Amino acid sequence: MAGCVMFATGLDSQLIRIKSRAGQTKIINKFISCRKKLHRAPGFGFILGVMDATNNPLRRRLTVLYCGQVQGVGFRYTAKTVATGFELTGSIRNLADGRVELVAEGRREELEAFRTALRDEGLAGFIRAEQVDWSDATNEFRGFEIVR
């Protein structure tokens, strides 16, 4: 099945069941009002890549460079913990120049809510500045992880 691409279409709410090779099952309740493209996900079968009527991907990539006292204060651990409450994937890592780089992919609304939640979780006091960049998702991540 490598290289297979499948599509699902519909106009009402559906429960979508995704089962991994390891037997894990994830059920997603999605309102399907547009074309959905299923992408091959290593170790987890097919996953949805949601596309609108013009075939533009709704998943976005958010890259944020945080400046300030952001290393040595639990910033990465807090970000990983907060990420579990959102439908997104990505990574966070310390940079040699003292900044922290966050790269996350998901729906834009989820990503914006995630950024707000990071500040609300007590990290706002450590952040002096943020450099934010938006681009199309590359679907390169599985989960959210701390890069060392």
Query: In this predicted model, what pLDDT tens digit does every residue of 47-85 receive, in sequence order?
Result: 455 444 434 458 999 999 999 999 999 999 999 999 999
| Dihedral in degrees, nearest 10, Cα atoms 24, 27, 33, 39 | 0
> Are 66 and 126 within one domain?
yes
pLDDT tens for 103-147 read 999 999 999 999 999 999 989 999 999 999 999 999 999 999 999
The 6-8 sheet, strands edge to edge: 6-8, 36-40, 46-50
The answer on 124 and 78 residing in a single domain is: yes
Top pLDDT among 129 and 4 is at 129
For residue 103, tell me if it sits in a domain: yes
Q: Is residue 25 part of a domain?
A: yes
Identify the pLDDT of residue 58: 82
One domain for residues 82 and 141: yes
Residues 93 and 139 in one domain: yes
Q: Kindly state whether residues 69 and 123 are assigned to the same domain.
A: yes
Range of the domain at 107: 59-147
Domain match, 29 and 93 both: no
Kindly state the DSSP code that residue 44 receives in the 8-state scheme: S
Mean of the pLDDT values across residues 21-34?
48
* Sheet with 88-94: strands ordered across: 127-136, 59-68, 100-107, 88-94, 144-147
**Choosing from 59, 60, 61, 76, which is the catalytic residue?**
76
pLDDT computed for residue 18 by the predictor: 52
Residues 84 and 113 in one domain: yes
pLDDT tens-place string over residues 83-100: 999 999 999 999 999 999
Residue 29 has pLDDT above 60, yes or no: no
Neighbour tally for 21: CB within 10 Å? 9
Q: What is the pLDDT of residue 148?
A: 85
**Given 35, 94, 115, 139, the catalytic residue:** 94
Is 76 annotated as catalytic? yes
Residue 43 has pLDDT above 70, yes or no: no
pLDDT at 8: 43
148 is catalytic: no
Statement: residue 14 has pLDDT above 70: no
Whichever domain contains 131, its CATH number is 3.30.70.100
Q: Are residues 64 and 105 in the same domain?
A: yes
Q: Within a domain: residue 1?
A: no
> What is the residue type of 28?
I
